[in-house]
Amino acid sequence: MKNDKKIKLTINDKPIEIDEGTTILQAAKMLDIDIPTLCYHPLLEPYAACRVCIVERKIGEKVDLVTSCNTKVQEGMVIYTDSENATKARRLNVELLMAQAPAAEPVQQIAKELSIEKTRFEIKDPTEKCILCGLCVRTCEEIVGANAISFIERGTERTVSPPFGEPSEACIGCTACAFFCPTEAITFEDLQGRTVIHDELELGPSTAIRVPTRQAVPMVPFIDEEACIHFKTGECKICEKVCEKEAINHEAEDEEIEIEVGSVILASGFKPFDPKRIPAYGYGRFENVITSLEFEKLVNASSPTGGKIFLANGEEPKAVGIIHCVGSRDENYNEYCSRVCCMYSLKFAHLIKEKTNADIYDFYVDMRCFGKGYEEFYHRLLEEGTKFIRGQVSEVTDIPLTEQEEGRLIIQVEDTLIGVIRRIPVDMVILSIGLEPGMDQNEIARIFNISCSQDTFFLERHPKLAPVSTFSDGIFLAGACQSPKDIPDTVAQAGAAASEALALADKGTFELEPITAEIDEELCAGCQLCVGLCPFTAITYDKEKGISVINDALCKGCGTCVSACPSGAAQQKHFRDRQILAEIEGIFID
Amino acid sequence: MSNEAFEPKLVGFLCNWCSYTGADLAGTARMTYAPNIRIIRVMCSGRVDPQFVLKAFAKGADGVLISGCHPGDCHYQEGNYNALRRHRLLSKMLEQLGIEKERFRLEWVSAAEGGKFQQVCNDFTEQIKKLGPLNLNGGKNEPREA
């Protein structure tokens, strides 16, 4: 504590000077003296329930045994952590704990360290793990602030429970109690969680404060407000306590910042196709059917498996099937081709060959190797021994028809090159999912006054001559939000968009619309009908002259005012009434 | 009149940003549609003055189409709403003049909807074929102005 008073004491004949208020256990730690504990945790108030941290204490002439976790240091104290008395007391306590909770591993560990073979006390329940350390209770009270569990009953009946032994409404399901429990006496089940190939692969609901993915840029954690205990109970904030840089602020709020810009580049990306929409492929039902993105996470060197390719049960697959065109080129889902999947599927085939001895089956419809070196890579795969089967897979099933198919995933497909329906047993299935436009494409399009094409990707001004601009001046497009594309193409498009945006600003001048509207002063009666109609507030009423006037710089040339003008005073350059009427006449000249 | 099948003369006012581009898309995609429609480009469907519609019918059009951006997507924010209102009112008036309301059509075609434009043209042409020629002036056009 921030106390200036220092206390001098010795532990195991080693002297130490330390702040007042420190416990013996903490002082021992400073001297690298290890005292075993079971119910102690640095983030919680000490409780001294397990009695394992007992040490012999001598102050003056008085000698006694105290628990070091909750006893504060005193001037002139002499502590022996492994004296005969201390050790005897500790051993007895451990034997008691062994009888109380024979299945608790940390207790067995300490027993082994103290060379205790068995307990002399009667064992009531050989499967019991709870050592009544109270860590869960203290966690729920001090850290979570929910107070949903506590000790109930006394003596031999003492146990941890929510009120009246029934599930408590105060429990917020944070699983902090399970986290702090040293013996796994408390466990939890995620009833809605989908089993993915590895529990840790989906970094999702593991902790409320976490890094989004293992290779996130920037590599900075965020707080998931839905899962964070502080946002539920107002307590916890342990992350803030342990952060040395004081970088965590739970009170930070979303800030709306207004920036005035001259041009905008939309690069809002894509959404991966959800293969749950194709029930026949078994995604979500079979734990070894995974998407390409999940496979990328698995095979990455920073994955939970260190990049090794394992099935959900930890074994290596003997055969892997890669299915192309999942959600793409399909009139039931998306008609377009997602462009990147053939190449990344080939990449996977190559990686799997490198890392395992598995047979690799690649089920393709066409092999789209359109880029530099792509076709050559495909040929390399052909030589490596990947088995390519041309056909759109119809089903992934686990119902075996033969003995060889037992316990495996069977891919059923028509091999169109030989005209036969085949069933290929594999262990792992990788779905090459396509790219879809993001959920908010229409919303973004509306905000920026641009259009979307039929497939809901953003519409470019011209597919050949203006692929990065839109129909609204100053709004540019880059990347997959405009259409599915791979990284080289995205980078090229981004460069183009950036230079167009820069060119716009760099010019120093900008071009006005030539097709603006104008009001003939002579004809204008000053009725002001046009003033309210203009969506760009380009028309103002001149009180002195009694006429309406159009601001040429604001006018966008829609012509709404022109068609509303009762006197024909307002006319749009190049789209005058008499011009359009002449066009109509021209149509009917026979 | 000859015994040839009646080929309607249709006039379409297409807004530059959505409908005209959509029609252009139908063309680049080589979608075939009835050739009966003659297109006049305006910057916005809100530019279409009722007098244009009346002039077209007076000159011999059997059907008039106005096509603009979908509501909410107008390049100039709200021009298409003006077109909508004018269409509703004008239809009523045209009916009183003896012009069936099926002959005056309002459609929303976006820049990506080449297919829809094709469909609208074919549909409109079929519909007018069934209705027959308008014959506003007893089959004669307005005398040409000097």
The chain B residue lying nearest A517, using CA atoms, is B47
Whether the CB of A222 is below 8 Å from some CB of chain B: the reply is no
Q: What is the pLDDT of residues A412-436, one digit of tens each?
A: 999 999 999 999 999 999 999 999 9
Which residues make Cβ contacts (< 8 Å) with residue A131, sequence separation at least 6?
A38, A39, A49, A50, A97, A100, A101, A104, A106, A107, A182, A183, A185
Amino acid A405: pLDDT = 93
The answer on pLDDT for A545 being more than 70 is yes
Task: Measure in Å the smallest separation between the Cα of A275 and chain B Cα atoms.
Answer: 27
The yes-or-no verdict on residue A202 having pLDDT over 90 is: no
**Residues 6+ positions from A502 with CB-CB distance below 8 Å:** none
> CB A563 to CB B47 under 8 A?
yes
Residues A299 and A442 both lie in one domain:
yes
Alpha-carbon distance of A578 to A520, in angstroms, equals 15
Flag if A536 and B52 touch (Cβ within 8 Å).
no
pLDDT band at A228 (very low <50, low <70, confident <90, very high): confident
Give CA–CA dist A57/A65, Å, rounded. 6
Please tell me the predicted confidence (pLDDT) of residue A191. Answer: 62
What pLDDT, on the 0 to 100 scale, is given for residue A192?
Answer: 57
pLDDT in tens, A353-365: 999 999 999 999 9
| Cα–Cα distance for residue pair A453/B112, rounded to 1 Å | 5
Supply the pLDDT for residue B145. 55
pLDDT at A504 over 90: no
Token couple for A414: 């028509």
Q: Select from A250, A281, A309 the last residue of a domain.
A: A250
Q: Which residues of B touch A572 (CB under 8 A)?
A: 43, 47
Contact residues, chain A, for B117 at CB < 8 Å: none
Q: What angle do CA A95, A186, A52 make, to 5 degrees?
A: 30
Cβ atoms of residues A80 and A56 within 8 Å: yes
pLDDT grade for B130, boundaries at 50, 70 and 90: very high
- Residue of A588, A589, A590 for testing the chain B interface, max B β-carbons within 10 Å: A588
Is residue A199 domain-shared with residue A165, that is, in the same domain? yes
CB contact under 8 A, B110 and A451: yes
- A558 to B73: CB separation less than 8 angstroms, yes or no: no
A331 close contact with B: CB closer than 8 A: no
For residue A260, what pLDDT band results from cuts at 50, 70 and 90? very high
**What is the number of other CB atoms lying within 10 angstroms of the CB of residue A358?**
17
Identify the domain boundary among A113, A148, A175: A113
Q: Please check whether residues A105 and A220 belong to one and the same domain.
A: no
* Inter-chain touch B79–A559, beta carbons under 8 Å: yes
Average pLDDT over residues A567-581: 95
Nearest CA in chain B to A555: B76
Alpha carbons A160 and A385: distance in angstroms, whole number: 59
The CA distance from A52 to A49, in Å, is: 8
Residue percentage of chain A with pLDDT more than 90: 64
Contact residues on chain A for B72, CB-CB shorter than 8 A: 446
The domain that holds A78 is classified in CATH as: 3.10.20.740
Helix H, strand E, coil C: the string for A290-341 is: EEHHHHHHHHCCCCCCCCCCCCCCCCCCCEEEEEEEECCCCCCCCCCCCCCH
A468 with A493: CB under 8 angstroms?
A: yes
A408 and A319: one domain?
yes
Residues A344 and A475 in one domain: yes
Rounded to an integer, the average pLDDT of A445-464 is 90
What are the sequence ranges of the domains in chain B? Answer: 10-131
| Alpha-carbon gap: B96 to the closest alpha carbon of chain A (Å) | 22
d(CA A131, CA A186): 11
Residue of B nearest to A571 (CA): B47
The answer to whether residue A257 sits within a structural domain is: no
Of B52, B78, B112, the CB nearest to A584: B52
Please give the pLDDT value at position B4.
66
Q: How far is A454 from chain B (nearest CA, A)?
A: 5
The model's confidence at residue A509, banded by pLDDT at 50, 70 and 90, is confident
Residues A366, A494 within the same domain = yes
> Which comes out higher in pLDDT, residue A348 or A471?
A348
- Give yes or no for a contact between B63 and B103, defined as CB atoms under 8 angstroms apart: yes
Q: Do A559 and B18 touch (CB under 8 A)?
A: no
Whether residue A204 has pLDDT greater than 90: no
Asked if the structure places residue A120 within a domain, the reply is no
Does residue A54 carry a pLDDT above 90?
yes
Same domain (yes/no): A219, A167: yes
**Which of B43, B45, B74, B86 best probes binding to A when mutated, by most A CB atoms within 10 angstroms?**
B43
Q: What is the pLDDT of residues A111-169, one digit of tens each?
A: 999 999 888 999 988 999 999 999 999 999 988 888 899 999 888 889 999 998 888 88
pLDDT of A170 reads 87
> How far apart (Å, rounded) are the C-alpha atoms in residues A164 and A150?
10
- Which tens digits make up the pLDDT trace of B40-97? 999 999 999 999 999 999 999 999 999 999 998 888 988 999 999 999 999 999 999 9
* Tokens coding A149: 């569990």
**Does the pLDDT value for residue A3 go beyond 60?**
no
User: Using H for helix, E for strand and C for coil, what is the string for chain B?
Assistant: CCCCCCCCCEEEEEEHHHHHHHHHHHHHCCCCCCCCEEEEEECCHHHCCHHHHHHHHHHCCCEEEEEECCCCCECCECHHHHHHHHHHHHHHHHHHCCCCHHHEEEEECCCCCHHHHHHHHHHHHHHHHHHCCCCCCCCCCCCCCC
For residue B24, the model assigns a pLDDT of 94
In a domain, residue A317? The reply is yes
From residue A389, give the alpha-carbon distance in Å to each of A155, A195, B62: 70, 29, 58
Which sign, positive or negative, has the C-alpha torsion A375, A381, A382, A386?
Answer: negative
Based on the fold, state whether residues A425 and A381 are members of the same structural domain: yes
A-B interface: how many C-beta pairs under 8 angstroms? Answer: 100
pLDDT at A537 over 90: no
Residue A78 is part of which domain span? 6-113
Question: Over the stretch A280-318, which tens digit does the pLDDT of each residue have?
Answer: 999 989 989 999 999 998 898 877 777 889 988 888 999
Residue with tokens 């990147």: A340
pLDDT at B63: 96
Q: Report the number of distinct structural domains present in chain A.
A: 4
Question: What torsion, rounded to 10 degrees, do the Cα atoms A546, A552, A558, A560 define?
Answer: 0
Task: Name the band, by pLDDT with cuts 50, 70 and 90, for residue A184.
Answer: confident
Q: Looking at the structure, do residues A163 and A205 belong to the same domain, yes or no?
A: yes
Q: Which residues of A touch B18 (CB under 8 A)?
A: 451
> Nearest-CA distance from B130 to chain A in Å?
21
Instruction: Please check the confidence at residue A215 and state whether its pLDDT lies above 90.
Output: no
Per DSSP bridges, beta strands A14-19 and A6-11 are antiparallel
pLDDT for A350 equals 96
Same domain? For A356 and A481 the reply is: yes
pLDDT at A234 over 90: no
Fold of B10-131: Rossmann fold (3.40.50)
Q: What is the dihedral of CA A355, A360, A366, A368, to 10 degrees?
A: 10
**Is the pLDDT confidence value at B3 over 60?**
no
**Closest residue in chain B to residue A473, using alpha carbons only:** B75
Number of residues assigned to chain B:
146
Does the ipTM exceed 0.85?
A: yes
Enumerate the β-bridge partners of residue A413. Answer: A422
Concatenate the DSSP letters of all residues of A16-63 into one string: EEEETT-BHHHHHHHTT-----SS--TTS-----S-TTEEEEEETTEE
For residue A44, the number of C-alpha atoms closer than 13 Å in the C-beta half-sphere is 24
**Does a structural domain hold residue A377?**
yes
N- to C-terminal Cα separation, chain B: 27
Nearest to A468 by CA among A488, A498, A443, A507: A498
A77-118 confidence digits (pLDDT tens):
999 999 999 999 999 999 999 999 999 999 999 999 999 988
C-beta atoms of B79 and A535 within 8 A? yes
Domain with residue A351: its CATH number is 3.50.50.60
Are the C-beta atoms of residues A186 and A178 closer than 8 Å to each other?
yes
Residues A94 and A220 in one domain: no
pLDDT at B140 over 70: no
Note the pLDDT tens digit of each residue in B70-86.
Answer: 998 888 988 999 999 99
Give me the residue from B17, B50, B76 closest to A535, CB to CB. Answer: B76
Contacts of B50 in chain A (CB under 8 A): 563
| Other C-beta atoms lying within 10 Å of the C-beta of residue A247 | 10
> For residue A28, is pLDDT > 80?
yes
A520, A497 Cβ separation under 8 angstroms = no
Does A590 touch chain B if contact means CB atoms closer than 8 Å?
yes
Task: Please tell me whether the peptide bond between A212 and the residue prior to it is cis, using omega within 30 degrees of 0.
Answer: no
Q: How far apart are the first and last CA of chain A?
A: 101
A533 contacts in B (CB within 8 Å)?
82
Examine the domain organization and report whether A539 and A480 are in the same domain.
no
Q: Is the confidence at residue B146, as pLDDT, over 90?
A: no
Residue-level pLDDT at A174: 81
Q: Is the pLDDT of residue A175 over 90?
A: no
Q: What is the mean pLDDT of chain A?
A: 90
* Cα distance between residue B50 and residue B90, in whole Å: 7
The answer to whether residue A346 sits within a structural domain is: yes
With an 8 Å Cβ cutoff, is A572 touching chain B? Answer: yes
Cα–Cα dist A499/A496, whole Å: 5
- The answer to whether the CB of A357 falls within 8 A of the CB of A363 is no
pLDDT of A171 higher than 90:
no
